[in-house]
C-alpha cells in the first residue's frame, strides 16, 4: 500500500487500523486503533499534521490535508463519507461528514454534529454539538443530528475494516 515517509516524517498507523492498499498516506499522519482508510482516500501530511482518532472511517475518495498552523484533526468514532474534503479543520468525537462535503480551514464540527452531503463548511465556522449543517455555505439546524446513526455507522465501519484486514485478497 502507498504509505510514504516525507523527509524525516513518517506516518504512524496503529496496528489495529485498516488502510486499504489503494489509499495513500503521506508524512505527518497518525491513524488510531480500529480506524479505516478506504480506497482512493488521500491523507497528505506535508505542510501540517493530520490526526485520525480511534474507530473512525475515512471513506473512498476522501482528501484530507492540513497546512502550517492549521492541522486537521478527526476525533474518535467519526464517520467521514465518500469524496469528502477536509482541510485544516477539526471534527470532534462522534461527528459525521456526509458524502461530498467540504470542511475548510479552522472550521470545527463539534461532538455529535453532522455535516450533510455536499455541504460546505467555510473557514472558521463552528457546527455546534448535535447540529446538522446543510447547504452551500452551510446553514446550521440545531438538534437535528442523529448521534445514534453516527455511532451505528462508526461501529459498522470498524467491523468492516476488521473484515477487510482478515479477508481482502488481490486476485490478479
pLDDT, tens digit, 9 for 90 and up, residues 82-141: 999 999 999 999 999 999 999 999 999 999 999 999 999 999 999 999 999 999 999 999
Q: What is the CATH number of the domain that holds 146?
A: 2.160.10.10
Tell me if 78 is assigned to some domain.
Answer: yes
Q: How confident is the model at residue 23 (pLDDT cuts 50, 70, 90)?
A: very high
Integer CA distances (angstroms), 66 to 23, 29, 50, 74, 138, in order: 17, 10, 7, 12, 21
Q: Assign 55 to helix, strand or coil.
A: coil
Give tens-digit pLDDT for 40-71. Answer: 999 999 999 999 999 999 999 999 999 999 99
The three grid cell numbers given for residue 153, joined into one nine-digit string: 455507522
Structural domain range at position 83: 3-167
The three grid cell numbers given for residue 143, joined into one nine-digit string: 438538534
- Count of domains forming the chain: 1
Tell me if 126 is assigned to some domain.
Answer: yes
Integer CA distances (angstroms), 54 to 48, 116, 158, in order: 20, 22, 9
Tell me if 172 is assigned to some domain.
Answer: no
pTM metric for this prediction: 0.97
Give tens-digit pLDDT for 141-150. Answer: 999 999 999 9
Strand ranges for the chain from DSSP E: 3-4, 12-13, 18-19, 24-31, 36-37, 42-52, 57-58, 63-65, 72-74, 79-80, 85-87, 90-91, 96-97, 102-103, 108-109, 114-115, 120-121, 126-127, 132-134, 139-141
Residue 164 has pLDDT above 70, yes or no: yes
Q: Determine the pLDDT at residue 44.
A: 98
Rounded-to-integer distance, Cα 103 and Cα 26, Å: 20
Tell me if 159 is assigned to some domain.
Answer: yes
Residue 1 has pLDDT above 70, yes or no: no
89: left (phi over 0), alpha (psi -120 to 50) or beta: beta
Mean pLDDT score of the chain: 97
Amino acid at each position: 500500500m502507498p504509505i510514504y515517509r516525507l523527509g524525516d516524517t513518517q506516518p504512524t498507523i496503529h496496528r489495529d487500523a485498516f488502510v486499504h492498499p489503494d489509499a495513500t498516506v503521506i508524512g505527518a499522519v497518525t491513524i488510531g486503533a480500529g480506524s479505516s482508510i478506504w480506497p482512493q482516500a488521500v491523507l497528505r501530511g506535508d505542510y501540517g499534521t493530520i490526526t485520525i482518532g480511534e474507530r473512525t472511517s475515512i471513506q473512498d475518495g476522501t482528501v484530507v490535508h492540513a497546512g502550517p498552523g492549521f492541522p486537521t484533526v478527526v476525533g474518535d468514532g467519526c464517520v467521514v463519507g465518500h469524496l469528502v474534503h477536509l482541510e485544516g479543520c477539526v471534527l470532534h468525537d462522534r461527528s459525521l461528514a456526509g458524502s461530498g462535503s467540504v470542511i475548510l480551514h479552522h472550521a470545527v464540527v463539534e461532538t455529535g454534529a453532522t455535516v450533510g452531503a455536499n455541504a460546505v463548511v467555510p473557514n472558521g465556522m463552528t457546527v455546534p454539538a448535535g447540529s446538522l449543517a446543510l447547504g452551500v455555505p452551510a446553514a446550521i439546524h440545531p438538534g437535528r443530528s442523529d448521534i445514534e446513526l453516527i455511532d451505528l455507522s462508526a461501529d459498522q465501519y470498524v467491523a468492516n475494516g476488521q473484515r477487510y484486514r482478515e479477508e481482502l485478497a488481490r486476485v490478479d
